[in-house]
Amino acid sequence: MSDPRLRCFPFGGVGEFGKNMMVYAIDEDAVIVDCGMGFPEPGQHGVDHVVPDISALDQLGLKIHAMLITHGHEDHIGGLPHLLPRLKLPVYATEVTVELIRGKLSETGYKADLRALPENGDTVQIGPFDVEGVPVTHSIMDAVSVAIHTPLGVIIHTGDFKLDPSPIDGRATALHRFSQLGDKGVFLLASDSTNATHPGSGPSERIVGPALRQAVAQCKGKVIVTTFASNMFRIQQIIDAAIACGRRVSVAGRSLERNMKITQDLNRLRIPAGTLVDIKQLQHIPDHELLIIATGSQGESRAAIGRIAQDRFTGLKLGHGDLVIFSSSNIPGNERIIAGLYNHIYRRGARVLHARQAAVHVSGHAHAHELKTMMQLTRPKYFYPVHGEYRNLIEHRDLAVATGIPFEQTIIAENGYSVVADHDGIAHGPGFHAGAVFVDGDSRDEIDDYVLRDRRFLAEDGMISATVLLSQHEGTLLADPELVARGVLHEDVSSDILSAAASDLAGFLSSLDLELLADLDATREEVRLYLRRWCKRRLGRRPMVLPVVVAI
């Protein structure tokens, strides 16, 4: 019988930030770790979020036993509502993460098989594997690294982590357990590369509390704090700051309300009676006695802080003396959107405080020294940097080599590039399709490449509609085509230009064979192609052409 081998299939989150999803297989038995979502890129018009394309799973020939979730951030669980109904797998996660997943899935009506992932050193058998969660600190409750015990040794997938020496809830990273796993024999360490470019160690979450209290105490008007809706450690410190400064707290954002209720019901979030006030009842509270926690720190247009900044939130207006605190980091690519949000806030007379001005946010990801500590504790045979853009992966591998892991026992493999490892070595395996599925969040429908292409055309070059009337029996034009332009510069499509295009189109259609004109679908395509080419030749643009051919 041949020796077992490990195969890794990164479907998301390797070579990018977001939509994290990894498949680990020993021979044909496999588990999936995380199932996240990402944000759309510029040019992906109308896309609310992006999830991994799992179509290649059918070709890999794997027997997948379960999903293992490291923590409850959207880039690790956001893909579940879309992908889990297809996969129909049991999902293992820790207490808070299970409830966050349950809350997300409740919006879809899908009843998932959610199971507890032990984090006390015990393991649960999943197929041929024994699996455990190893507690780590991060910017969310109950985060774990996943340890998969296999015949080759232990696979450790760290998920997002940091080594916070004084966590808010007292639940520290289980350094002793990582060391024990290192003693047992770690075959592969797949580790979070997000902050591999940052030297030293990151500050503790605890430093945010005093900075928040100071900022709130100095404000004479109302305070609005925006942060990630799942960061209950931060929410707790915001609430504590409000109470210390004699303020009531209101919540703006459905996801934030849901997450706070979940953690309150689990006795993990402490809110004294009388602290919370309904967002619709603010008119009775003086501004200097009010603090509002709002969603939308990344500038999402429909989120609470975006609507507040543009005076589109009923019953709540920003004004002089008010303070908006961004207790969050900018996800790469969102900088321009967030800067625009700042401008809206300043136009209303309020002020902005963010992490570059005061310690109102700290990262939940390990810096270089902490990453090296993880390697020293686990002493892996092979090292695979994940969770980050290509530069982060390279910097993380360099840290591994500096820590003493031989270069040839490390590997860089982005989404779509498999990894194969056994006792003899680690190498790249066959490539596989690992694209993205674009999702409209309201309808949860997939947006295919053709729809994106059409939206891009509309955004860049506009649209021209062409209405053509034909005689049903004679196959001749009954009148000149009627052209209407939308989203095209007026100087490009003045009335004279449209008249010339209509006249030329009429001449073109008159030259066509009557048999072709009798085929309305073929005529529509001829109209579309002719006008596209005409516009390119005369205007230097390619607007979308919407042909309407009517036979009378």
Helix segments in 166-294, DSSP class H: 175-184, 208-218, 232-244, 254-265
User: Cα–Cα distance between 302 and 440 in angstroms, integer?
Assistant: 14
Q: Which residues contact 234 (CB under 8 A, 6 or more apart)?
A: 139, 205, 208, 227, 228, 327, 361
Which residue(s) pair with 294 in the sheet?
226, 252
Q: What angle do CA 118, 119, 125 make, to 5 degrees?
A: 35
Contact predicate 353/216, CB 8 Å: no
In one letter, which amino acid is 402? A
- Given the residues 34, 192, 322, 461, the one annotated as active site: 192
Which residue(s) pair with 469 in the sheet?
550
**Helices H, strands E: what count in the chain?**
16, 25
In one letter, which amino acid is 384? Y
Phi, psi angles (nearest 5°) of residue 308: -65, -45
Q: Give which of 339, 317, 344, 246 is closest to 288, Cα–Cα.
A: 246
Contact predicate 290/222, CB 8 Å: yes
365 catalytic? Reply is: yes
Contact predicate 112/101, CB 8 Å: yes
Which residue(s) pair with 325 in the sheet?
225, 353
- Given the residues 157, 365, 367, 396, the one annotated as active site: 365
User: Cα–Cα distance between 47 and 197 in angstroms, integer?
Assistant: 30
Phi, psi angles (nearest 5°) of residue 449: -60, -30
User: Cα–Cα distance between 396 and 193 in angstroms, integer?
Assistant: 6
423 catalytic? Reply is: no
Catalytic residue annotation: 192, 365
